[in-house]
Amino acid sequence: AQSVTQLGSHVSVSEGALVLLRCNYSSSVPPYLFWYVQYPNQGLQLLLKYTTGATLVKGINGFEAEFKKSETSFHLTKPSAHMSDAAEYFCAVSDQPNQGGKLIFGQGTELSVKP
Amino acid sequence: SAVISQKPSRDICQRGTSLTIQCQVDSQVTMMFWYRQQPGQSLTLIATANQGSEATYESGFVIDKFPISRPNLTFSTLTVSNMSPEDSSIYLCSLRVQGSDTQYFGPGTRLTVL
């Protein structure tokens, strides 16, 4: 069975500081990994994804994540936080699409950005 | 990406009643899903909506409580039946387009049950 663990339900950074949101996964098959962002009172928006190939993936709004198989991790980073980055962030793992494509979500990390 | 709309966007309902949520997409998709997000929690998959046949439910969710229809490739409904305050959640529709490995989400329906 697949699972996702996000370390830290709340992360607070100062504007301009590094953002690091941690995600570890468990999967019996090569995983597809995703980061989604949820702004207040909105649905989920895809930030980035890893399926195959390059392990460092870049997404929207300056975010990137690196797939590390040896560490079973897919941490999300951004070099310099902006006030508009304040939101809830979800890491998710999926079976490969031809096996159902269901998403298993982590518990989420709420990011606060201080001026 | 695809455009997904949900109706209603929010509702306040009385205990014991039922609410049907609609999900409409702008392209013919392979798979549609319904998720629940309880207050302060992550998303949990309720079921996969299958076109022209019964939905596939996840453990802990049953058809009598959450009947789902998908009459065609671009439309699905989720009904929350015989509601109780514990059903207060955000319900989200998502889709995966044929040939894509990515799920896209609708804006959600925020349900409050009194």
**How far is B23 from B69, CA to CA, in rounded Å?**
10
Cβ–Cβ under 8 Å, residues B103 and B2: no
- The candidate with the shortest Cα–Cα distance to B37, out of B96, B103, B92, B79, is B92
- The candidate with the shortest Cα–Cα distance to A69, out of A87, A89, A50, is A50
Taking an 8 Å cut-off on Cβ atoms, the answer to whether A105 and B43 are in contact is yes
Taking an 8 Å cut-off on Cβ atoms, the answer to whether B42 and A97 are in contact is no
Taking CA–CA distances from A108, the nearest residue in chain B reads: B42
A contacts of B94 (beta carbons < 8 Å)? 44, 103
B contacts of A104 (beta carbons < 8 Å)? 45
User: Band of the pLDDT at B84, cuts 50, 70, 90?
Assistant: very high
Taking an 8 Å cut-off on Cβ atoms, the answer to whether B45 and A42 are in contact is no
**In this complex, how many residue pairs, one in chain A and one in chain B, have their CB atoms less than 8 Å apart?**
54
In our burial notation (b when 16+ CB lie closer than 10 A, e otherwise), range A41-66 reads eebbbbbbbbbeeeeebebeeebbbe
pLDDT digit string, tens, across residues A28-60? 778 899 999 999 888 899 999 998 889 999 999
Residue B72, Cβ density class (10 Å: 0-12 exposed, 13-18 middle, ≥19 buried):
exposed
pLDDT greater than 90 at residue A89: yes
- The candidate with the shortest Cα–Cα distance to A47, out of A14, A12, A76, is A76
pLDDT greater than 60 at residue A3: yes
